C-alpha cells in the first residue's frame, strides 16, 4: 500500500461471551490506507482483514464468522493461532530425551494443530494495546505442563502489529519450563477477491518460491522425501492460477490431499529475518498479499475439506476452494523425522517465529 505515513490506531472492545460465560475481547487495528485487522482474544484469532482494491473498494479477505458461536461450534481453524504444534504429528506420538509422549488423535490416526483443544480453543489475555506509527496488541497464554500430552509449562505470546503501509506482522514467542516441541502459526484462509466471492479463491494467482515439497502418505503424513516441484502441478515458482492444478488427477498427491494440502520447502532451517514464502493475488481486483516468515516451510491448503456445512460471515456457505491457507511453519511431523529439522524448545532458549502479511495493490 502507498500513502502518507499516518499513525495507525488500535481500539479495544467487547466481543461478547462464550457459552460458558467467559468474556472475549476484540482489538481493531486500522491504518490510513484502508487496511484494518480485527483480532479476537478467543484463539488469538484474526477474525477479519480488510484490504482495498485498485479502485479503493474495501473487502474482507479472510474466511471466518461474524460471532463467537461460529468459532465455538465447529473447529475450522479460521484465522486462529495454532499450537502447541501446527500441522500433523504421526499417530500423535513423539520422543524427547528418551521419553515417549502421546497426544490426542483428532485427525484420523494423527494429531493435528495441537490435538483438538489447543491454543485456538483458549481465551488469551491482552497485555497491551497501542496506537502510533504501528498499532499493535500483545496477548499471552499459559499452557500447563502436560496439556494435551505435551511436556512443560509454556507461556506463549502473540503480537499483532499493523503499520502505516499495510503490513500486518504476527510475532510468536514462547518459553518453557521443560524441554518440549513448539510450532506456532496463523491459520487464516484467504480469498483476495473477497471473502464469500462467488468465484471462490481458485481464480487467485499463487507464487511459491520453493523448488521442492514434501509428498505425503494416505494419512497426509510426509513420507520424508523432498520432491522437486519442476514439471509437476506443485510448481508455483513462476506463479499460476490455483485452479490449474487442483483437478489434475494424474498426480497421485493431488488425489491423496483432495487438492493441495502440502508443505513446501522454502528453506532447510529457520532464518533470522522473514523471507518471502508466497504471493497471492486476485487479477480482477488487484489485491495482493505477500507472506513472509522466519520459518522453513509453508503449508499450502486449498480448502479441500470445506464441504458446504459451514455458514460463515454474512451467511456465506463455505465450500471447497472458497479459501486458501498459507501457513508458515516447521515441517509437518518434524519431531519424528530428524532430517526435517528440530522443533525442540528448551528452558532458557525461547521459541520465536515472525511472519508478515504484506498487502499491496496491482494497478
> CB–CB of 145/177 below 8 Å?
yes
Of residues 113, 195, 327, 353, which has the active-site annotation? 327
Cβ-Cβ contacts under 8 Å for 147 (sequence gap 6 or more) = 84, 154
CB 31, CB 50: distance < 8 Å = no
State how far the Cα of 329 lies from the Cα of 293, in Å rounded to an integer. 8
Q: Among 25, 65, 113, 187, which one carries the catalytic annotation?
A: 187
Among this protein's residues, is 316 annotated catalytic?
no
Q: Which of 161, 179, 178, 182 is nearest to 170 (CA)?
A: 161
60 phi, psi to nearest 5 deg: -80, 125
And the C-alpha cell for 16? 461478547
Give CA angle at 212 (261, 278), nearest 5°: 65
> Has 55 been annotated as catalytic?
no
**Phi, psi values for residue 149, rounded to 5°:** 90, -5
* Residue numbers annotated as active site: 187, 327
Amino acid at each position: 500500500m502507498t500513502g502518507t505515513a499516518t499513525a495507525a490506531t488500535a481500539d479495544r472492545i467487547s466481543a461478547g461471551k462464550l457459552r460458558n460465560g467467559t468474556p472475549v475481547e476484540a482489538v481493531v487495528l486500522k491504518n490510513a490506507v484502508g487496511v484494518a485487522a480485527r483480532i479476537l482474544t478467543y484463539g488469538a484469532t484474526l477474525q477479519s482483514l480488510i484490504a482495498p482494491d485498485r479502485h479503493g473498494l474495501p473487502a474482507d479477505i479472510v474466511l471466518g464468522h461474524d460471532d463467537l458461536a461460529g468459532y465455538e461450534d465447529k473447529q475450522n481453524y479460521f484465522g486462529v493461532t495454532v499450537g502447541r504444534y501446527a500441522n500433523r504429528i504421526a499417530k500423535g506420538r513423539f520422543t524427547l530425551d528418551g521419553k515417549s509422549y502421546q497426544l490426542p488423535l483428532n485427525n484420523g490416526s494423527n494429531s493435528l494443530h495441537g490435538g483438538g483443544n489447543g491454543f485456538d480453543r483458549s481465551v488469551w489475555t491482552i497485555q497491551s494495546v497501542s496506537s502510533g506509527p504501528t498499532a499493535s496488541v500483545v496477548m499471552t497464554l499459559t499452557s500447563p505442563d502436560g496439556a494435551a500430552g505435551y511436556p512443560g509449562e509454556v507461556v506463549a505470546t502473540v503480537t499483532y502489529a499493523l503499520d502505516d503501509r499495510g503490513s500486518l506482522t504476527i510475532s510468536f514467542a514462547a518459553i518453557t519450563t521443560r524441554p518440549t516441541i513448539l510450532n506456532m502459526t496463523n491459520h487464516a484462509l484467504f480469498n483476495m477477491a473477497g471473502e464469500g466471492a462467488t468465484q471462490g479463491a481458485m481464480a487467485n494467482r499463487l507464487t511459491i518460491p520453493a523448488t521442492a515439497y514434501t509428498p505425503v502418505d494416505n494419512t497426509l503424513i510426509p513420507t520424508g522425501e523432498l520432491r522437486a516441484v519442476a514439471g509437476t502441478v506443485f510448481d508455483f515458482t513462476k506463479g499460476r492460477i490455483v485452479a490449474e492444478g487442483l483437478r489434475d488427477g494424474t498426480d497421485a498427491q493431488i488425489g491423496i490431499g483432495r487438492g493441495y494440502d502440502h508443505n513446501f520447502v522454502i528453506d532447510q532451517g529457520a532464518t533470522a529475518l522473514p523471507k518471502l514464502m508466497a504471493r497471492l493475488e486476485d487479477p480482477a481486483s488487484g489485491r495482493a498479499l505477500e507472506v513472509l516468515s522466519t520459518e522453513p516451510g509453508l503449508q499450502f491448503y486449498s480448502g479441500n475439506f470445506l464441504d458446504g456445512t459451514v455458514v460463515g460471515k454474512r451467511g456465506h456457505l463455505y465450500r471447497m476452494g472458497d479459501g486458501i491457507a498459507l501457513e508458515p511453519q516447521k515441517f509437518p511431523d518434524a519431531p519424528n523425522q530428524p532430517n526435517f529439522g528440530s522443533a525442540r524448545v528448551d528452558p532458557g532458549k525461547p521459541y520465536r517465529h515472525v511472519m508478515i502479511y504484506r498487502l499491496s495493490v496491482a494497478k
